[in-house]
């Protein structure tokens, strides 16, 4: 099987590709799509257990001519490419929605059999007073709602609506961290103003890769096509301060969390259907293992 992966120079993609190479069955190949070939140098030097390395395709995800060449001979796609945090709304929609749908249509036309779309648990919007499940509809208007989750949800809907033989699967990631990813430190941008008891559900890069590989390789199960990928133990604002070595402002203990179940998801489906078990069930497990 030849798998095309996008977004491979970002925080998630560049950690996912080495793990995909290690887990791929003998004979499987990996191709990455990058805009700047010089940024793919580290990936080009990688090789799996059988000695097969990464193929490099150069081009822009939003260029239909590029997609046709990148998809030649491809059996599966993992679309990790995303624009978020600090980009203009139109840029987020262009990459997260428009480019994803263009890639999906091109993949379908090229005979791709499986398409794994990386999404976010923010697509749920407001909490429901319990852990969110994959069957819950979007309820916009949550504190962190905006162009990023909106465009990701639009991409999900458009890809799942494609007609043809391509099996589309959605992986909704919790807050990603680990292995030097600056997201953990960046969490203080928000946590510095959150109620002390507010919770954030997270997922380590090792478990992102595990989840996406399971979506990529597992046969179909009961028609389920959307899966939450997260750890077992959401952390609090206090935890985030402690792990980042920041003193908790006393005023945070006086605040009330307006939506205690925002972003808190159930992983029952991926555990039951695909055998997912987090390598790092909590942020503290990863800390103790030296995997932050």
All structural domains of the chain, each given as residue ranges with its CATH number in brackets, are 2-174+204-229+266-278 (3.40.50.720)
> Is residue 95 over pLDDT 80?
yes
Start-to-end CA distance of the chain, whole Å, equals 32
- Percentage of the chain beyond pLDDT 70 is 95
Surface-to-core class of residue 188, CB atoms within 10 Å of its CB (0-12 exposed, 13-18 middle, 19+ buried): middle
Q: Is 291 left (phi over 0), alpha (psi -120 to 50) or beta?
A: alpha
DSSP element (H, E) containing 5:
strand 2-6
Measured distance CA(263)–CA(94) in Å, rounded: 24
Query: So what's the pLDDT on residue 64?
Result: 80
Q: In the 8-state DSSP scheme, what is residue 292?
A: -
**What φ, ψ does residue 193 adopt, rounded to 5°?**
-120, 5
Q: Which string of DSSP letters, residue by residue, matches 158-194?
A: HHHT--SS-EEEEEEE-EEE-TT-THHHHTHHHHTTS
- Percentage of the chain beyond pLDDT 90 is 84
Q: Give the CA dihedral 154, 20, 131, 161, nearest 10 degrees.
A: 30
Query: So what's the pLDDT on residue 52?
Result: 63
Query: So what's the pLDDT on residue 47?
Result: 60
């Amino acid at each position: 099987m030849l798998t095309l992966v996008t977004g491979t120079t970002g925080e998630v993609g560049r950690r996912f590709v080495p793990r995909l190479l290690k887990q791929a069955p003998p004979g499987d190949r990996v191709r990455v799509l990058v805009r700047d070939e010089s940024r793919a140098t580290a990936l080009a030097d990688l090789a799996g257990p059988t000695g097969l390395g990464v193929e490099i395709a150069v081009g822009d995800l939003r260029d239909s001519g590029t997609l046709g060449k990148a998809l030649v001979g491809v059996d599966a796609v993992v679309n990790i490419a995303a624009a978020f945090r600090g980009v203009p709304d139109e840029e987020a929609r262009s990459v997260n929605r428009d480019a994803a749908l263009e890639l999906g249509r091109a993949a379908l036309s090229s005979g791709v059999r499986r398409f794994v779309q990386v999404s976010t648990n923010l697509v749920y919007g407001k909490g429901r007073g319990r852990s969110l499940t994959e069957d819950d509809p979007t309820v916009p208007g949550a504190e962190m709602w905006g162009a990023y989750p909106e465009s990701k949800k639009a991409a999900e809907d458009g890809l799942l609506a494609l007609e043809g033989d391509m099996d589309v699967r959605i992986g909704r990631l919790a807050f990603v961290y680990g292995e030097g990813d600056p997201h953990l430190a960046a969490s203080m941008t928000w946590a510095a103003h959150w109620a002390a008891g507010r919770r954030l559900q997270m997922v380590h890069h090792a478990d992102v890769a595990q989840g996406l590989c399971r979506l990529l390789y597992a046969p179909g199960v009961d028609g389920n096509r959307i899966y939450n990928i997260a750890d077992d133990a959401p952390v609090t604002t206090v935890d985030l301060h402690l792990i980042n070595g920041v003193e908790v402002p006393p005023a945070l203990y006086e605040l009330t969390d307006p939506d205690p179940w925002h972003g808190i998801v159930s992983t029952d489906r991926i555990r039951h259907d695909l055998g997912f078990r987090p390598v790092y069930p909590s942020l503290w497990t990863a800390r103790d293992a030296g995997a932050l």
